[in-house]
Amino acid sequence: MKKQNKFLSIGVLAFVLVVGAAGFINNNKAVKGDNSPAFISSEAKVIGYRDFNELDNTAELILKGTKAKVINTFIDKNEFGETIDYHTQSAIKINQIFKSDNQDIVEGSEVTVQENGAIETTEDGTLIYGIEGYQLMNENEEYLLFLDKSLTDPNVYFVKGVYYGKIPLSEPKVNKILEQSEEESSQDLEIYGEYPEALNTIFKEALEKYGR
């Protein structure tokens, strides 16, 4: 797995990605010649949660939802063709709502969630980007999501704490495209960060409260 440095500041409502020269992702180094997918994990400063109550109480929107489709993929490059920012906006079909202050969000509708990763197809192969190992949600799979509203677009929500607020309701697995890769790291789960034990406990307590 390729890792590059990125600095990420996540506020209560949104995150701001600040990238310096040391944070550029050099595509020429990341692409593999055999066309198999290459995963690039960007290091970031993530605001973590020491316990479930903190995550639960501060989330603006809590729901169970199924990823219906990718709305758009954003990949920003500098003048040298190096990737400096990325994200994916995904449509999540809402199956059940536990907490919301938005009357327009109802069960059966869709909400736009900005994910901390992206997939880019090049002539040399597929590049899969993820902040701190974040893996995109798989389409047609259900997740328990803890979300905050974007400060700049009230119709877009962010996963809290990069990966803390995204809990698979089936067995955790890698993104389906990553399964094609022969890299050892492609089998890693997306649980990274400073407090992995706390993260596992948060996931367990979240599922105990809201169920599968």
Q: What is the pLDDT of residues 11-64, one digit of tens each?
A: 322 333 332 222 334 333 343 445 578 888 887 777 778 889 999 999 999 999
- Number of structural domains found in the chain: 1
Q: For position 71, which CATH number holds?
A: 2.40.50.120
Contact 146, 164 (CB under 8 A): yes
* d(C-alpha 90, C-alpha 112), whole Å: 6
Provide the domain limits for residue 126.
Answer: 2-210
Rounded to 5°, the CA angle 133-190-25 comes to 10
**3-state helix, strand and coil shares in percent for the chain, rounded to the nearest 5:** 15, 40, 40
pTM: 0.76
Q: What is the pLDDT of residues 75-117, one digit of tens each?
A: 999 999 888 899 999 999 999 999 998 888 999 999 999 999 9
Contact 67, 162 (CB under 8 A): no
Contact 127, 27 (CB under 8 A): yes
- The residue-averaged pLDDT of 125-151 equals 92
Contact 12, 148 (CB under 8 A): yes
Contact 94, 110 (CB under 8 A): yes
Select from 22, 21, 30, 26 the least CA-distant residue to 5.
22
Mean pLDDT estimate for the chain: 77
Burial of 89: CB neighbours in 10 Å, binned 0-12, 13-18, 19+: middle
Q: Return the higher-pLDDT residue of 53 and 188.
A: 53
